[in-house]
Structures are given as structure tokens and as C-alpha cells.
Amino acid sequence: MALDAIATPEILTGQRAVGGTPFVITGHDTDASTEIAIKAAPGENKSILIDAVILTSNDADANPQLQDEDDNVIFGRFFGLLGAAGGATVVNMRFPNPLKLVSNKALELKAAAAGNVSVYVEGRIQNDP
């Protein structure tokens, strides 16, 4: 059986990449079952790099993920914990090497079903080489 959605975002190797214009986004939504743009496409010859992410949901069916505007999964889908009151998802990740979206693509939050989802993203906009 194959995965329903799979992606392999580019991972930058070596020392933590430096430079670029940093950004931080935080927010929540009660229904991310329709994708929500959380960082607009940065423009021609520029890419979004993700340094850190926190995703939470108190709904066992929400299963949040980050994706690009073409619905390519970048980080996730994360499933609620069985046995937790109502189900819960908490993911806190600081990437030793940032995830890089394809050039000039927006970053979106998506969930499998309606439910409370919160997101916190630290990243940078960098010129493509």
C-alpha cells in the first residue's frame, strides 16, 4: 500500500543556512479542511525556507500538515493521539537543516477535517542560487 500523499522537500546540508529575510507566522483556525495560505509566494527566484514549526490540534480527526500551493506535503500529516481526551496533536520541531519549498510557492496549512488547528512557523525568504 502506498502513501496517499508524499513529498521530499529539499533539505539544505552542512551548517545551518544563513541569510534571507526572516519571518514568523502564528495563528489558528477552526476549519483548515480547505487549505489556508499562511505565507504568500515570495516572488520570482525566491524560496521559503522553514526553520521551525509547531502544529497543535485538540481534534483527533484534524490531522494537520503544511503543504505548498500545489498540495505537495512539506511537513506532516500528524495524527491525534489515541486515548487522549478528544484526541490531541502536538508537534514541535526545529530543523537542524531547513526545509525549502520549490521556488515562488506559497506555504499553506491543511487539515483532513474540520477542527481547531494552530500553527507557528519560523522561516526565511531566500534568493534562489
**Residue 88 belongs to some domain of the structure:** yes
For residue 117, give the nearest of 24, 36, 39, 29 by alpha carbon. 29
Mean pLDDT of the 5-18 span: 54
Flag whether pLDDT at 5 surpasses 50. Answer: no
User: CATH code at 57?
Assistant: 2.60.120.1330
Asked if residues 69 and 108 have their Cβ atoms less than 8 Å apart, the reply is yes
Model pTM?
0.82
- Yes or no: say if 115 and 31 are a contact pair by the CB < 8 Å rule: yes
Contact 84, 6 (CB under 8 A): no
What range does the domain containing 42 cover?
A: 22-127
- In terms of average pLDDT, the best of 14-18, 54-58, 106-110 is 106-110
Question: 43-53 pLDDT, tens per residue?
Answer: 999 999 999 99
pLDDT of residue 81: 61
Q: Report how far residue 1's alpha carbon sits from residue 65's, in angstroms, rounded to the nearest whole number.
A: 21
Based on the structure, what is the number of domains in the chain? Answer: 1
Burial class from Cβ neighbours inside 10 Å (0-12, 13-18, 19+) for residue 4 reads exposed
Q: What is the pLDDT of residues 95-129, one digit of tens each?
A: 888 999 999 999 999 888 887 888 888 889 999 88
Q: Tell me, yes or no, whether 85 lies in a domain.
A: yes
Mean pLDDT score, 15-24: 73
For 59-95, write each residue's pLDDT tens digit: 877 888 899 999 999 988 887 765 455 567 778 899 8
Buried b (16+ CB within 10 A) or exposed e, 84-116: eeebebeeeeebeebbbbbeebbbbbbbbeebb
Per-residue pLDDT band for 26 (boundaries 50, 70, 90) equals: confident
